[in-house]
Chains A and B, each alone.
Chain A
């Protein structure tokens, strides 16, 4: 790891100030992704600002929903009684992520900002448009079994690895950030960006902005929500495909449904079109299968990842029918 200087921030304003006056600085919280990226030479920061002393680790529930501090740890959120009872898709996505040790360390803010697991991105000996803009994308013609079939561009087909972000996307969460210019709120659907010609820009965060919290609105479907993760090993592995679903039923009638997908797209993928196939209608096997076909209509499969197009549809059917009590 190349050397860097280090300072610990006292509070959020202090952290924002420090970051604002130190170009190239990075915040470090759990460090579980950042330190690997720095060890591998994928990222270098001349200065790290430790934000662990900031008072941002509380999880609270109110009438409007759930407020998760940006520094809350994955385990803490997964074990929180309100999360388990009324936002189960969040707890399931968190417990399906990483390992117990990493879940004790990694924060919610850091989880949302983890970088892709694309092997070309993580290998400084390879070209990569995300790491070195303009250098090319070997994954397009190379080993792309883990890569995206939706939201891709000629520059990048890397997936976003966070399970939590998929669940938060299904639940219409809002990301709270604080920067040198003040605080603002970003809907999670606008937080992640498609790669386009600039895959190095992954989020709408501005320089020196810190994630201070994530807010999850309360609505009936959230309490009937689940996360299904399909992967190569039963545990401690990233998703091949994943589905987050929240369902509000009256009898078999779908009053509301939210669907988001991981492993298949360059960002956590919400499909309003797939939801529209199901919302306001009776839940049937045929309609869920149709929603799956709509989901993958624009898919661009490649040599190694074409199986994901079928797999994600099966995962969707499995999860929604199970959630809807049809199986």
Chain B
């Protein structure tokens, strides 16, 4: 497992939430003893299997390769959060509507709840954990802080990943264009004004 850039030395809100999520994951990913047994089977086939059989895959996330065994039904989002402990990517609606799970795959923004982990072998995946350069935040992250572009933070990783792609795509010519091209990311705190300002800032700096 890769190292966290900010190792926690004492119980924090994040580590408490992580352990809660792991417990919940056990409940949701292992619905019955049969699949639990097969999901740890070392003899799992690599390309196909019966309904209860897991698959061995390698995911390339933030420049690191991770070997893991997943049932085909595991989404990329669940694999990132619950198997690789990369909980920066958020699970909001789990239906592709809110954008909280946005990650980059081969440089393009996608919704990680709408794709299966097994479909993303061989792709380069970037999550919000992979944006910063050591302790130096990505310019879009800095712009979000400077512009106070969040309240609860639930949508923020998805907003930031989407903004990075939006700037690269060149859809930041006006406030209206930013709103249009950031519309796949919903903010329940309605920080849109400041999100748009942060995206415009980062775009102007030309360092999306």
Interface set of A (CB-CB < 8 Å, partner B): 1-8, 28, 30-32, 35-36, 38-39, 46, 48, 50, 52, 98-102, 104-105, 234-236
CB of A35 within 8 A of CB of B51, answer no
Verify B95–A235 contact, CB threshold 8 A: no
Contact B47 A105 (CB under 8 A): no
Contacts of B118 in A (CB 8 A): 6, 50
Q: B110 — which chain A residues lie within 8 A by C-beta?
A: 101, 104-105
- Chain B min CB distance to A235 (Å): 4
Complex Cα spacing A1 to B184, Å = 24
Q: Which residues of A contact B55 (CB under 8 A)?
A: 6
> How far does the alpha carbon of A31 sit from the alpha carbon of B108 in the complex, in Å?
16
Complex CA distance for A50 and B48, rounded to whole angstroms = 11
The answer for the CA separation of A31 and B48 in the assembled complex, in Å, is 18
- Write the residues of chain B forming the contact surface with A, with a CB cutoff of 8 angstroms: 35, 47-53, 55, 71-73, 75, 94-96, 99, 102, 108-111, 113-116, 118-119, 162, 165-166, 169, 171, 179-181, 183-184
Q: Decide if B109 touches A5 in the complex (CB within 8 Å).
A: no
Cross-chain contact of A2 among B48, B50, B73, B95 (Cβ < 8 A): B73
- Are A31 and B116 interface neighbours, CB within 8 A? yes
Interface residue from A3, A8, A36 paired with B71 (Cβ < 8 Å): A3
Whether A102 touches B184, Cβ cut-off 8 Å, given contacts A32-B114, A48-B72, is: yes
For the complex formed, measure the closest distance between the CB of A247 and the CB atoms of chain B, giving whole angstroms: 26
State the total of A-B contacts with C-beta under 8 angstroms.
Answer: 95
Question: Are B119 and A28 in contact (CB-based, < 8 A)?
Answer: yes
Are A8 and B114 in contact (CB-based, < 8 A)?
Answer: no
| Chain A residues, CB < 8 A from B165 | 100
List the B residue with the shortest CB-CB distance to A95: B180
Q: Given the complex of chains A and B, what is the CA–CA distance between A196 and B113 in angstroms? A: 35
Q: Of A4, A7, A8, A104, which is in contact with the most chain B CB atoms at under 10 Å from its CB? A: A104
Contacts of B162 in A (CB 8 A): 100-101
User: Please, how many angstroms separate the alpha-carbon atoms of A193 and B158 in the complex?
Assistant: 39
Contacts A7-B48, A32-B114, A100-B169 supplied; 7 other A-B pairs, CB < 8 Å: A3-B35, A6-B55, A6-B116, A6-B118, A50-B119, A52-B119, A101-B109
Q: How far is the CA of A64 from the CA of B48 in the complex (A)?
A: 41
Give 19 pairs: A residue, B residue, CB < 8 Å, sorted on A.
A1-B73, A2-B73, A3-B72, A5-B51, A5-B72, A31-B114, A35-B114, A38-B73, A50-B119, A99-B111, A99-B183, A101-B111, A101-B162, A102-B114, A105-B114, A234-B180, A234-B183, A235-B179, A236-B183
- Measured between alpha carbons, how far is A189 from B49 in the docked complex, in Å? 39
Task: Decide: A236 and B184 in contact? CB cutoff 8 A.
Answer: yes
A6 CA to B52 CA, complexed, in Å: 11
| A1 contact set on B, CB distance < 8 A | 73
B72 touches A100 (CB 8 A): no
B76: shortest Cβ distance to chain A, in Å? 10
With beta carbons under 8 angstroms apart, the residue of A6, A30, A102, A234 that contacts B48 is A6
Query: Is A104 in contact with B109, judged by CB distance below 8 angstroms?
Result: yes
When the two chains form their complex, are residues B166 and A100 in contact, meaning their CB atoms are under 8 A apart?
yes
User: If the complex has contacts A3-B35, A28-B119, A35-B75, are A101 and B52 also in contact, measured as CB distance less than 8 A?
Assistant: no
Would B99 and A5 count as touching, CB distance under 8 A? no
A105–B110 CA distance with the chains assembled, in angstroms: 7
Instruction: Write out the residue numbers on chain A whose beta carbons fall within 8 Å of the beta carbon of B184.
Output: 98-102, 236
Q: Closest residue of chain A to B116, judged by CB?
A: A31
Which residue of the partner chain B has the closest CB to A52?
B119
Query: Does the CB pair B95–A36 fall under 8 Å?
Result: yes
State which of B48, B114, B116 has its C-beta within 8 Å of the C-beta of A5: B48
CA distance A1 to B74 in the complex (A): 9
Q: Which residue of A lies closest to B102 (CB)?
A: A101
Contact B94–A39 (Cβ < 8 Å) = yes
Measured between C-beta atoms, what is the minimum distance from B28 to chain A in Å?
10
Chain A proximity of B24: nearest CB distance (Å): 16
A31 close to B50 (CB less than 8 A)? no
- Given A1-B73, A4-B72, A31-B119, residue A105 in contact with residue B111 (CB < 8 A): yes
How far is A35 from B184 in the complex, measured between Cα atoms in Å? 18
Known contacts: A101-B102, A101-B184, A236-B183. The answer to whether A6 contacts B111 by CB under 8 A is: no
Contacts of A102 in B (CB 8 A): 96, 111, 114, 184
Closest-by-CB residue of A relative to B78 is A1
Nearest-neighbour CB distance to chain A for B139, whole angstroms, equals 20
Chain A proximity of B145: nearest CB distance (Å): 24
- How far apart are B131's CB and chain A's nearest CB, in angstroms? 17
Complex: A96 Cα to B186 Cα, angstroms: 17
B109 near A31 (CB under 8 angstroms)? no
The CA of A100 and the CA of B181, in the complex, are separated in Å by: 6
How far does the alpha carbon of A38 sit from the alpha carbon of B116 in the complex, in Å?
12
